[in-house]
Structure 1
């Protein structure tokens, strides 16, 4: 059993690396993660937005790993950034995270996060079966 990712033919294809729809298997546990910021495992926060994004996504994988879930179980990701990331760097970081099967995703730019030095916050939902 696994999450099914779809891009229905009755809407335009995604404009980036994401799926329009993620279908969760019946009787799966739903795991809802709080927004993860760009600190490393020691609590250090890099200055660069790209490194903060890489750390936040790594933190999500580590939390899911603690529950026996891989990135294949991710059904939804929301990304909030306070400054732009180059398209090439974002594509590289994002591809490493989802491994070729991007989940349903929303990305937005916001004026600020809870602390001024935070440039990234990423929320994830996952399924475990």
Structure 2
């Protein structure tokens, strides 16, 4: 069996090493991105919710870029929210900037009660563009 083809964005390797997971895994022409949160450079949660969401999308963009992808290549989105009803507008604002015009990728939003100190997490599956 072949080893996993792991993708890591520049500058955040230590956070993945500490927590023992990969930022993303390539399988065929698909990229499976681990959940991205709104962490600051030291890995701590950004306290301002709107900024936390923006940082999560920024961190996601860095992982996509490391694999040669962009938000245009995303086909599946799952988001996790600690307070979905009150967070929806802030998330939607950032999400619509990232994903631009229709057709949008499919999206599943899940309410949760714990995200290791964070209030929002996003994970995606993207198709890797042909060279």
Kindly report the root-mean-square deviation, in angstroms, between the aligned alpha carbons of the 2 structures. 1.9
- Match of 1:99? 100
Contact 1:38 / 1:55 at 8 angstroms: preserved in 2? yes
User: Moved runs in structure 1, 4+ residues, more than 4 A?
Assistant: none
Offset at residue 119 of structure 1 (A):
0.9
Secondary structure of the equivalent of 1:45?
A: coil
Distance 1:38 1:70 in 2: 18
88 and 110 in structure 1: CA distance in 2 versus 1, 3 angstrom threshold: closer
Q: Taking CA–CA contacts closer than 8 Å with sequence separation of 6 or more, which of the two structures ends up with the larger relative contact order?
A: 1
Distance 1:98 1:79 in 2: 14
The gaps in structure 1 that reach 5 residues or longer are: 1-27
Kindly provide the CA deviation profile for residues 97-129 of structure 1, in whole angstroms up to 9, marking residues without a partner as x. Answer: 11123211101111112x2x2111111110012
Kindly provide the CA deviation profile for residues 42-62 of structure 1, in whole angstroms up to 9, marking residues without a partner as x. Answer: 534211222221111111111
Secondary structure of the equivalent of 2:76?
A: strand
97 and 40 in structure 1: CA distance in 2 versus 1, 3 angstrom threshold: farther
Secondary structure of the equivalent of 1:40?
A: coil
Q: Aligned pair 1:71/2:106, yes or no? A: no
Contact 1:78 / 1:106 at 8 angstroms: preserved in 2? yes
- When the two structures are superposed, what TM-score results if normalisation uses the length of structure 2? 0.67
The gaps in structure 2 that reach 5 residues or longer are: 1-27
